Amino acid sequence: MPMPGSTRPKLIYVAQAPDGVSQSRFTARWRQHAALGMRQARWRNVAMYLHCDPLPIERQCDPALATAGIAVVQYLSEENRLAHIADESARQTMKADELLTFALPVARTALLLTERTLKAGCMDGYRLFVFWQASAPDFSACWLAHGQGQRAELLRDERITFAAQNAPALPRNLRLEGLDCDGIDEFASTDLSALRVLALGWMARAAVPGQAQFVLTRTVVLHDVPLSS
């Protein structure tokens, strides 16, 4: 079932800290890695870049999704994404720096996605990610339809400033590596309590066939190009 959405491809990766590296030390090194990336000539292809630093919630996510951070990279277009990855010099520079920054290369913890925006708005504040692993063959249809039900009430909440469903750009059998995930929900708010209540409410009821893992974060906007640009 196709997902209508943004023409700007989105990459989300789950950042893993090397063993023995504290959260504060990792975050500082991650920002350094980001600054290096944004200095490359190929950065002109990027529309938005977020670092999302993890915050505790009352119920921990699965250890498989334990993370020191989540990055969101959105390209200006598919053509820009292809130009970005075609820059071999910058790619090698960034891959070398990944070995100094992360426990695993980004390619092994990333997923290319198509965004279906449910509510457009402010990127600042806090962000809740819901990572889905399907347990039913009709997961995609159920997940999309779910946006018309439980999400409808949520989207009327003025405290929620942004909401999106992100579907993998490639089916599972065509992915060579990357994040093991069948869909990612994103919700943003400047009100941390609103997202915390949302996370705990979703944890209490499984409304979509699948296994959901929740990561609550603080958003740092490192780069943002308006849609009109």
Tell me how far apart the terminal alpha carbons of the chain are, to the nearest angstrom. 31
DSSP at 59: S
229 found inside a domain: no
Q: How many domains does the chain contain in total?
A: 1
3 found inside a domain: no
CA dihedral 30, 33, 37, 40 (to 10 degrees): 160
Alpha helices in 148-220 (DSSP H): 150-155, 192-203
Q: Are 39 and 89 in contact (CB under 8 A)?
A: no
Domain that holds residue 47: 10-224
The answer, yes or no, to whether residue 32 has pLDDT greater than 70, is yes
The answer, yes or no, to whether residue 205 has pLDDT greater than 80, is no
| CATH assignment of the domain containing 183 | 3.30.70.100
Distance CA(129)–CA(188), nearest Å, equals 9
Distance CA(57)–CA(217), nearest Å, equals 10
Helix (H, G, I), strand (E, B) or coil at 221: strand
Query: Using one digit for the tens of pLDDT, what is the confidence trace for 101-130?
Result: 999 999 999 999 999 888 888 888 999 998
HSE (CB half, 13 Å, CA atoms) of 96?
Answer: 7
Question: What pLDDT does residue 122 have?
Answer: 83
Mean pLDDT lowest for which of 35-39, 95-99, 109-113, 114-118? 114-118
48 found inside a domain: yes
40 found inside a domain: yes
24 found inside a domain: yes
Amino acid 229 reads: S
Distance CA(10)–CA(157), nearest Å, equals 25
Six token digits for residue 10 = 């989105």
CA 127 distance to own-chain centroid: 9
User: Which H/E stretch holds residue 36?
Assistant: helix 23-38
176 found inside a domain: yes
Place of tokens 């944004």: 38
4 found inside a domain: no
Question: What pLDDT does residue 102 have?
Answer: 97
The answer, yes or no, to whether residue 197 has pLDDT greater than 70, is yes
Query: Using one digit for the tens of pLDDT, what is the confidence trace for 54-77?
Result: 997 754 555 445 689 999 999 999
Band of the pLDDT at 135, cuts 50, 70, 90?
A: low
DSSP at 61: P
Q: Give the mean pLDDT of 142-162.
A: 73
Question: What pLDDT does residue 176 have?
Answer: 80
